[in-house]
Amino acid sequence: MSDRSEADRLAQESALARLVRRPEAGAFIVMIVVVTMITFASDFKAFNALGLKNNLAIIAQFGIIATGAALLMIGGEFDLSIGSMIGFAGMSMAMMLKWGLPFGLGEATPFLAFIITLAMTLSLGWLIGTIVVRSGLSSFIVSLAFLFFLRGTTEVSFRLINQSTQISGLPDFKEESWIAWAFGGEVFGWIYDAWFALGGNINRRGEQWVDGFDARVLWWLIIAGLAYFVLSRTQLGNWIYATGDNKDSARANGVPVNRVKTCLFMFTAFCATIFAACQVFDTNTADAAKGNLMELNAIAIAVVGGTLMTGGFGSVIGVAFGAVTFGLVANAVFYIPWLDGSFYRVFVGVVLLAAVFANERIRKRITGGI
């Protein structure tokens, strides 16, 4: 009997040890603490019908770009141009929607505006990745150069074309274009129809006042779901982990390291374009300054989510936990009147430093202290 109890105890300890070593373990704990604190500090307003809609909009934005950044970091590289790519993509789409397309194509439709912008951003992602893998330069330096290049080019070009780095007053294409609705509409309305209608989603006239979540929530779920599937169920996922862990060893075992890295840079550009499209079609505006510092938020969320700075280790689930945490804290000032908005930066600094130490300890446990 005692032998059996001892075996059960060891099995439980082994299961607990495996959970603790999971990359998302720390992010989950931080998320639970933050959710609990904000729930009570906001007197539950952060999670009423409107509060949840607004919070999920911010969380989804963070989640979209952080997923792209995390996969690239697992592959052993960084992309600091994500924020500038968002501004470039948003202004490009907005200009085509406002002025139309040249070469006799007539007025730009939302579909053409999105496809052409996506082609440009994917080409830029390919260019960044190609420079990194062909030159052997640090992705930090190459992407930092593109951060300045893209931001400056966007501001100078659109100031010449549009006499302003902002575009507002675009037509609302959501009612006539499925692609505009897919990026700027509302989804999961059935949740509000059934659940929140019972909990205070009806105004004084007896009408529902929040109809659904922003479409970007669905895009985040799609991107995160596909990223999770690729990392955990496909050969490409194994290649990404192998490339980030030891690219020379991966190359010796037949992994197309250069192609993997280039594709990951293109994926971050794709995520930035989705982010920009959701903003443009939701607000019918664009600004060259959009996305400023979002690359740092993306990297911070990835690290807090358990992604190692050295590559080869990370989890999409952990990134999702990190996005929830950062989104709630970034939006908390709207629900907690006495909270200074600058607290968000304090929070990011403290949590990021703690996450780096925690991730390093996890790495040493896994590698035996190497």
Q: What would the pLDDT profile of 311-325 be if each residue is shown by its tens digit? A: 888 889 999 999 999
CA atoms within 13 A on the CB side of 59: 25
Report which of residues 222 and 48 the model is more confident about.
222
Q: Provide the CATH number for the domain around residue 124.
A: 1.10.3470
Report which of residues 180 and 162 the model is more confident about.
180
- Give the pTM: 0.89
Is 140 inside any structural domain?
Answer: yes
Alpha helices in the chain (DSSP H): 2-21, 25-41, 49-74, 82-99, 110-135, 139-162, 178-184, 189-194, 215-233, 235-245, 247-252, 257-283, 294-304, 316-331, 343-367
Phi, psi of 23 (to 5 degrees): -65, -25
Least confident segment among 63-67, 76-80, 191-195, 244-248: 191-195
Reported as a pLDDT band with limits 50, 70 and 90, residue 104 is very low
Q: Which pLDDT score is estimated for 17?
A: 60
Is 21 inside any structural domain?
Answer: no
Q: What would the pLDDT profile of 267-314 be if each residue is shown by its tens digit? A: 999 999 999 999 999 999 999 989 988 999 999 999 999 898 888 888
Is 62 inside any structural domain?
Answer: yes
C-alpha 118, offset from chain centre: 17
Helix (H) or strand (E) holding 167: strand 166-167
CA atoms within 13 A on the CB side of 184: 24
Q: With contact defined as beta carbons under 8 Å apart, do 50 and 210 qualify?
A: yes
Is 15 inside any structural domain?
Answer: no
Q: With contact defined as beta carbons under 8 Å apart, do 333 and 280 qualify?
A: no
User: Is the model's pLDDT at 1 over the cut of 50?
Assistant: no
Q: With contact defined as beta carbons under 8 Å apart, do 287 and 337 qualify?
A: no
Q: Mean pLDDT across the chain, nearest whole number? A: 86
Q: Which of 352, 368, 266, 366 is nearest to 312 (CA)?
A: 366
Domain count, the chain: 1
Is 25 inside any structural domain?
Answer: no
Q: With contact defined as beta carbons under 8 Å apart, do 315 and 307 qualify?
A: yes
Is 192 inside any structural domain?
Answer: no
Domain that holds residue 257: 37-183+215-367
Q: With contact defined as beta carbons under 8 Å apart, do 202 and 209 qualify?
A: yes
Q: What would the pLDDT profile of 150-162 be if each residue is shown by its tens digit? A: 999 999 988 888 8
Q: Which pLDDT score is estimated for 169?
A: 86
Mean pLDDT value of segment 107-117: 85
Is 95 inside any structural domain?
Answer: yes
Is 334 inside any structural domain?
Answer: yes
